[in-house]
Amino acid sequence: MAKRVLVSGGAGYIGSHVTVELINAGYEVVVADNMSNCDLTCFEGVKKITGKEDIPFEKMDCCDDAAVNALFSKYRIDAVIHFAAFKAVGESVAEPIKYYRNNLDSFLNILEAAKTHGGCNVLFSSSATVYGETDRLPVTEQSPRQPATSPYGNTKQICEDILRDVVKATASCDAMEPGTDRNGTVKGIALRYFNPIGAHPSALIGELPRGVPNNLVPFITQTAIGKRECLSIFGNDYPTPDGTCQRDYIDIVDLAKAHVAAVGRMLDGKMKESYEIFNVGTGRPVSVLELVNAFEKVNNLKLNYKFAPRRPGDVTAIWADPTLANRELGWKAGRSIEDTLAAAWAWEKHLAGK
């Protein structure tokens, strides 16, 4: 019988790409989403890409513990991939309560249900933001985490710690006296994403930012299509080869495949520890200017951009050492930055009906 994976936040940008790859790999998938930051565009795209019209979809809020419990009663869940969270860094600084309430409550409800419904494998979507500013590059999973610079980043750190503690506690349940709070064992993996960009090569799913995009690639594609007048490159006086910040841009389909590999590792009993962390990146630093130039070249267009002051909170440079994920997950980022930027542009044109 095919294993079933619950994808919370599965109608969003990363969740929809992961749903496609899980279905392609033969998993049953249940998507749960409260649609707070997306519409049905991507879910419909997932159905078209996979040719699967009957993907179970539950419109629900993971902050509602009764709804999460009901979900786990309705379906036998073998693994959960938890994406359901707010993700705008600036908004989290302005509205910390909203961020802590949403991002922590939803994860706690998932973990509680996972535990009480007989145990489960839980994959948490973490972020390279936990490493903060560091000059020891690339970062490995052993690199120290830095104090978070935003409530959003802090929720990623706290959720990693919650998962670690729940895994530890449920593992020691096995040794408990009968009648104590045994429930099921929870095993966990945290994937620390670097900068996810791009879209599915079909151009049927991609990123759908609401309002003015905060992230670089949607701002670039919206400028190229004429929705924004000009891209501001934040800072050209950083101590990097061309003065602009460097990041590790990971293709969204490559990123989705890392989830399939991690879920397989959990379900096939291949984990070496009950809680594991993996960097998901390419290992290749790319500057903002290099990214802009690559976008122009591969799509054969000129982008209107200017240099602007540094954006508060940006780190100079960060990129992954992905060796652990390469070795243990048998996964490696494969798509070139050019293919990724061509896909991002195709998606923007698809949205514009061009």
Q: Which C-beta is closer to ligand UD1: that of 227 or that of 311?
A: 311
CA atoms within 13 A on the CB side of 341: 24
| Selection from 23, 41, 31 nearest residue 6 by Cα | 31
- 152 flagged as catalytic: yes
Q: For residues 158 and 165, is the Cβ–Cβ distance under 8 A?
A: no
82 vs 66: CA distance, rounded Å:
17
Name the phi and psi angles at 145, rounded to 5. Answer: -75, 145
Q: Pick from 261, 217, 211: which is nearest to 18 by CA?
A: 261
**Between residue 179 and residue 238, which ones bind ligand UD1 under the rule CB under 6 A?**
195, 214-216, 219, 231-234
Query: Of 99, 131, 152, 275, which residue is the catalytic one?
Result: 152
**Gyration radius (Cα) of the chain, Å:** 20
CA distances from 145 to 84, 211, 274 (A): 23, 31, 20
**Angle, CA 177 vertex, CA 171 and CA 179 arms, to 5°:** 100
Cβ 148 to ligand UD1, closest distance in Å? Answer: 8
Residue among 75 and 305 whose Cβ is closer to ligand UD1: 305
* Least Å from the CB of residue 282 to ligand UD1: 14
Residue that the structure tokens 């919206």 belong to: 222
Per-residue string for binding with ligand UD1, 37-76, x by CB under 6 A?
----------------------------------------
Region binding ligand UD1 by CB under 6 A among candidate stretches 26-34, 96-104, 107-115, 306-314: 306-314
> Of 22, 122, 288, 294, which lies in the binding site for ligand UD1, with binding defined by CB under 6 A?
288
Decide: is 314 part of the binding site for ligand UD1 (CB under 6 A).
yes
292 vs 223: CA distance, rounded Å: 11
Q: Does 155 bind ligand UD1 (CB under 6 A)?
A: no
Type of residue found at 131: Y
Of the candidates 247, 257, 259, 265, which one interacts with ligand UD1 according to CB under 6 A? 247
Residues in the site for ligand UD1, rule: CB under 6 A?
87, 89, 127, 129, 150, 153, 195, 214-216, 219, 231-234, 245, 247, 288, 311, 313-314
Task: Give the residue numbers annotated as catalytic, written as ranges.
Answer: 152
